[in-house]
Chains A and B, each alone.
Chain A
Amino acid sequence: MQFGVFSVSDITPDPTTGRTPTEAERLQAVLRIAEKTEEVGLDVFALGEHHNPPFFSSSPTTTLAYIAARTRRLQLSTATTLITTNDPVKIAEDYAMLQHLAGGRVDLTLGRGNTGPVYPWFGQDIRQGLPLAVENYALLRRLWDSDVVDWEGRFRTPLQGFTSTPRPLHGVAPFVWHGSIRSPEIAEQAAYYGDGFFHNHIFWPADHTRRMVDFYRRRFEHHGHGNADQAIVGLGGQVFMRKNSQDAVREFRPYFDEAPVYGHGPSLEDFARETPLTVGSPQQVIDRTLGFRDYVGDYQRQLFLIDHAGLPLKTVLEQLDLLGEEVVPVLRREFAALKPAHVPDAPTHDTLVAARNAQQGVAA
């Protein structure tokens, strides 16, 4: 099982000091967080894509390429890449480029975005969000899987004899996860292609995540990619830890109360009860996270959100130390002991290349 962190790249004032980091400071902080993610023994760093303040990450492949050069093992991913408003040709090119630079340590999570004006800013119509996700991804797949593409669709100028460069590393495209909080159609899309399904899992109650994942698993089996329990599932999660649970609550509360997305609404206690948010000791995080398996089954990737809402870099790095030293080693052991042998791990470049070679061997 893979463990990691994801950042949405928000630039938020620290509510305890009132100070907002500069764009440059926050960008450097995220680079440090990514390096530290590898240092403490975690597997994945994923970065969001946004096109408006207070976020900086408009170009995740640029940032991830830099991180790739500064790390050796870390799997790089996105949270998410906008399949609706990016030109699928540019996604095919950028992520194949990144895949070469990172030596294959790249996958990506596709999403439709949560900022309405991004659609008109990029010349698209938000009412076409789902059809855009469907058509753009169909084109992206062809650009990666076929060397020469003739293509015509509704949303993009046609292509004749087009070759997307560079070709995917070793002829195998990066693995794709499809992320959606509430659209079953996206779970259906992930199932149809036999791709991964990632549920943000942060802002909504667990029962909602359970239903989305269950639907994806059933459809994965329906589309002939394996048994339902062999589908590739990733979850988000949100944690804040201190050795002593009460210290964690006391320290995190001002960040929670002022946080974008849910601040000024429910109490920390209410929100922690309604959603997977866990604020407490490392043991509490271990127990809660192991509990996710009870409603989504054996899954392949767990990413934590730990750097939002104005938390200072020093605190985030301390969270990573706790994850690396106390939480993830136990989770790895416990999840591995529970997982049946026929449930696969999350695909990596090496396993995808091996699978492709095995398939070609059979064909030949």
Chain B
Amino acid sequence: MEKKRPQLSLEELHQLKWLLGGVLVLLSVWTVFYLEIEAWTLMGLTTVAVMAALIRPALPARLPPWTHRLVFPAVVMFFIGDLWLNTQVLPAIVRLDILLLLYRGVSYRQKRDDLQVIILGLFLIVVAGVLTVSLAFAAQILVFTACALAFLLVINLVESADAGRPKDGAPPRVPAWTHLGWRRLWARLREVADWRVLVLGGVLFVGVVGVSALLFLAIPRFQLENSLFLERFAAKKARTGFNDNIKFGDVTEIQQDTSVALSVDVTDRSQIPAAPYWRMLVLDEYRAGSFRLSPLLRYREFSRGERVGDTIRGTARSPRGEPVYWTFYFESGVSRYLPLLGPFAQVRFRETQNYRVATNLGVVALREEPAAMTAYRVEGMDASDRLPDANFALRLLKLPGTDPQSTTLKMLGLGVNAADQATLAGMVREITGGVALPVAEFSRRTEAWLARRHRYSLNPNVPGGAGDPLVRWMASGEAGHCELFAGSFVLLARTAGLSARVVTGFRGGTWNGYSNNFTIRNSDAHAWCEVFDAASAAWLRTDPTPGADAGPGEQAKGEATLARRLDRSWAARWDSLRVFWYRRIVNFDQRSQVETLKAVKEATEKSGQQLRVKLSEMVERLKAWLASPWTAERVAKILGSVVALAGLIWAWREFGRGWWRQLRRNAPSGDPVRLQAGRWLRELTVLTGASESAQASARSWVVGPETARVIDDLQRLRFGARATWPEPEAVFRRARVAVRAERRRGRVTAS
């Protein structure tokens, strides 16, 4: 009987096909989770139905036959209705896709239907991938690729196994394989699993991914998302805490979320400030317990019209020397206001953006909340705590015939009644002692005053009562969060006649030791203040929240900051993967393409050169060795070494190998002699096609008398009693000769 590897039966292949198809459906449908498309019900329904069909494959047979006839018209009606009601084409197509996948996932599939599952799934994955460019997508497409490859293989196996079977009428309503259990399939898969198939599959998978990577490196870059205008299907809605109008508690709410909001690369680490404040939004108007961007300021700063492009020129000047680049990877769902450390010389986006710039405020706003991660590179960014604003100074001075203090109040708003104003004035007197202080001194004293009266807490308690809530809080000794401290500071500063405003964004962050970048999480959200210093015509940053002020340990810049903020946790490992994805894949533009190719070229040249040097060194050493005088002692040494080596080889072959086999005869993997005999036997029977059980005389007609004898001896080594074994080494040597002879014979016969 010819040796045959164990194989899955047709029924088992069908079962495996069903499983892989179901997994593909689920994988692709779950990608819609990342999109802002109303398909939750459909997704949930598909998940439940397909999982049920996976667990109990006989279930689809219970669907009455007429349902299959109704499916096509029903799907068409659904699509038309969806399009009519929602008018958006892409969401309707996505829902249609899910619906078709649902049907394919719960009905028995022919080959054509299986291919349809792959195409439908691929559509969903690609749409989600283009829209989100998230790391989850990368993982998903990898799993999808592996599954789809396996699925295609199984489809082909099913088809080839099915080809030999007679077709007798229509297929049965309940396929025969549905009664086979999953545990059984698992056991069978383990039985038939062959490391060669697994290695081959792995190589195929790596090959597909590798070719895709090469294509990715080589193809011209283009921006698919902009061409398709898909931004509106944003993955998540932006957070209210970073909106134009925030209520107290909004920023604190963000702090509960520890997900990454921003990752930052910097080319010169020495530029990293001791306490980085990532500014996003300036809020100037106080009204009824909340700060907002006043309509006046919005009009003045943002009314210059929307611009389209990939570069923004800023007011700061690039310092001399090597330019410092900060690359920001800003996650979706945070805000449309871009985090920045301060004024900048230039911001360059990965792709063209619609944006507005408030130069005086140092704020950049995109038109839409980004649907996917937005990358931008900032050059010449000033990370200091002052923001020059000459225009504001001019405006203050130019208001004719008005009291500067009331102008400030009018412009920026105090929004509290007379009683509250009196309370505030009392507080300011307490702080300043009734003396007009310079801005820096006022800030220091106010911060100290607030810290004396209030503790920091994420769960503040604003006492009830009449009047302004913030004033009530200030009057109490209750604990508070950053927004309350910042808001109080602004009201006190304004009462003291200074111009002050609230700034929201992030403070601090951690240095990821694996990917060497700054990671800022949503939990780093913060609110602080800026006070206008007329003397230097600049806004000075001040952070009244206790514990937030840069203490003595936080003064150091650069590497010292990094060492203090170093994060080597498991979360950092995961984040480093995300940064790698952004740096190398998502942010891979034409410039990166050229850089990568250059780097590859340089690395190849360098290693080639190193190899050449090493080789020539070796040749030189050999020449020197040959040229050195050949004394009797030297010759004797060489001869001695050769003889010793030959002796060692001989001893190993004569005794060592036998001793080693003796030692291993009861090994769990089996007696090495039996295993080796089995391998030779397989090779010879495959080569000769000789029946193993045929008698030697009969077999010799097919394979020649010596090969027949070798097969006999190998069989004895493999299956015979140890006491009756011929000398294994001699048999294996003869087997080697026989294999060569049979190969030659095979070639001659073939030619």
Asked if chains A and B come from one complex, the reply is: no
Residues of chain B having any CB pair with chain A under 8 Å:
none
Residues of chain A having any CB pair with chain B under 8 Å:
none
